Amino acid sequence: MARRLRLGMVGGGQGAFIGAVHRIAARLDDRYELVAGALSADAGRARESAAALHIAPDRAYADFETMADHEAAREDGIDVVAIVTPNHLHAAPVRAFAERGIHVICDKPLTHSLEDALALEPLVRQSGIVFGLTHNYTGYPMVRQAREMVEAGEIGAIRVVQVEYAQGWLATPLEETGQKQAAWRTDPARSGAGGSVGDIGTHAFNLAEFVSGLACESLAAELTSFVPGRRLDDDARMLLRFAGGARGMLWSSQVALGHENGLRLRVYGERGSLAWAQEEPEGLVHAPLGEAPRLLRRGGPAASPAAGHASRIPGGHPEGYLEAFAQLYRDLAEQITARLEHRAPDPAALRVPGLAEGLRGMRFIAAAVESSQRNAAWVPLLG
């Protein structure tokens, strides 16, 4: 294309952490230009945020409905919108833009509730839009390599999947201090039925299915709120049963003092294992049966084509969180551009989580909450 994709944004105004992350990710590979936004539910803050981001005043909207209407009517309207609001404000903007044929990049989880997700599914499918869900950890080069190695049968049939996501930032009642990020994440009206299980447990669950290629069929979960007065879980532990007989465990916690962003995955097969940690993302440990474990490095001689596709700079120059996030934006840009150019997209760009993964995540949250309420009974993940 002779131009960047025109990007709009809903949410992500002043004081919003994830909005800035999305904007950096969108610009890192120079495939997008932010031209419109409904950046806050507060009209004054929305205008100030837009001005700070150099969005023209006539494209700084007070609400997403007006933005969807006006942008769809413009000859130079947005190609795609990023929705970076709290969970309870995902479904309505997705619906508004999908109805107008505007592609959507949505932060996770998909919606506030499973019911909202199921109601949204047929509309998004029928619209034919490109829909991306930012489970950003799937954008890391060595996560892509791990998936490629599993698909190639390099560790054999999978037996065990262990995944954890440990943080410690909510070990105290931070939400009571007015801290914005803590306040909405611990509020059922805005976050949904899951606390840690919805916020970071969904990332762990998505990563386990993404790399293993296996669907989790049922789970038995115990969700706990350790901080007195907290209305949603801040710690979740569960057993997983996967299709084909593999078994697994998942732990998500936001009261694990000493941990910052401890997302870790281990996959054990009949002929070897793989291990990856988000805080040391450049390496993937491969332990073949009967051989010493080996460390595979992004950019090194053992890096696979999938890792190369998701890399930007030579080995020895670390890539991390922002680059992984940007990988999803780059792959989605390829998908959208292919639509505009009436051609098939690069197959390597098709591994971005989308509507199906969003629905899996919502079913995961609902099943975990139900299981915990039933004293850790086994609950199936249907669909």
Q: What are the tens digits of pLDDT across the range 35-79?
A: 999 999 888 999 999 999 999 999 999 999 999 999 999 999 999
In a domain, 294, yes or no: yes
CATH of residue 285's domain is 3.30.360.10
If asked whether residues 75 and 159 sit together in one domain, one would say no
If asked whether residues 89 and 224 sit together in one domain, one would say no
Q: How far apart are CA 377 and CA 368, in angstroms?
A: 10
Confidence at residue 321, expressed as pLDDT on a 0 to 100 scale: 95
The predicted-structure confidence for 19-35, as pLDDT tens digits, reads as follows 999 999 999 999 999 99
Confidence at residue 359, expressed as pLDDT on a 0 to 100 scale: 97
Q: Is the pLDDT of residue 383 over 90?
A: no
If asked whether residues 199 and 110 sit together in one domain, one would say no
In a domain, 343, yes or no: no
Confidence at residue 1, expressed as pLDDT on a 0 to 100 scale: 76
If asked whether residues 90 and 148 sit together in one domain, one would say no
The predicted-structure confidence for 126-167, as pLDDT tens digits, reads as follows 999 999 999 999 999 999 999 999 999 999 999 999 999 999
Confidence at residue 24, expressed as pLDDT on a 0 to 100 scale: 97
Confidence of residue 221 (pLDDT cuts 50, 70, 90): very high
If asked whether residues 211 and 87 sit together in one domain, one would say no
Q: How far apart are CA 169 and CA 225, in angstroms?
A: 14
In a domain, 199, yes or no: yes
Q: What integer is the mean pLDDT of 250-270?
A: 98
In a domain, 35, yes or no: yes
* Domain end position, chosen among 96, 129, 162: 129
In a domain, 332, yes or no: no
If asked whether residues 88 and 212 sit together in one domain, one would say no
317, burial (CB in 10 Å: exposed 0-12, middle 13-18, buried 19+): exposed
Confidence at residue 186, expressed as pLDDT on a 0 to 100 scale: 97
CATH of residue 102's domain is 3.40.50.720
In a domain, 93, yes or no: yes
The predicted-structure confidence for 1-19, as pLDDT tens digits, reads as follows 789 999 999 999 988 889 9
* Domain end position, chosen among 129, 155, 184: 129
In a domain, 350, yes or no: no
Confidence at residue 32, expressed as pLDDT on a 0 to 100 scale: 98
In the chain, the percentage of residues whose pLDDT exceeds 70 is 100
In a domain, 322, yes or no: no
If asked whether residues 267 and 203 sit together in one domain, one would say yes
Confidence at residue 15, expressed as pLDDT on a 0 to 100 scale: 81
If asked whether residues 183 and 88 sit together in one domain, one would say no
If asked whether residues 55 and 102 sit together in one domain, one would say yes
If asked whether residues 90 and 155 sit together in one domain, one would say no
Instruction: Please state the domain count of the chain.
Output: 2
* Domain end position, chosen among 129, 157, 174: 129
Model confidence, pTM: 0.96
If asked whether residues 165 and 63 sit together in one domain, one would say no
Confidence of residue 382 (pLDDT cuts 50, 70, 90): confident
In the sheet that holds 247-253, the strands lie side by side as: 294-297, 283-288, 272-277, 262-269, 158-166, 247-253, 235-242, 216-224, 379-380
Q: Is the pLDDT of residue 125 over 90?
A: yes
If asked whether residues 163 and 246 sit together in one domain, one would say yes
Please count the other Cβ atoms lying within 10 Å of the Cβ belonging to residue 378: 14
Range of the domain at 24: 5-129
Confidence of residue 282 (pLDDT cuts 50, 70, 90): very high
The predicted-structure confidence for 315-359, as pLDDT tens digits, reads as follows 999 999 999 999 999 999 999 999 999 999 999 999 999 999 999
315, burial (CB in 10 Å: exposed 0-12, middle 13-18, buried 19+): middle
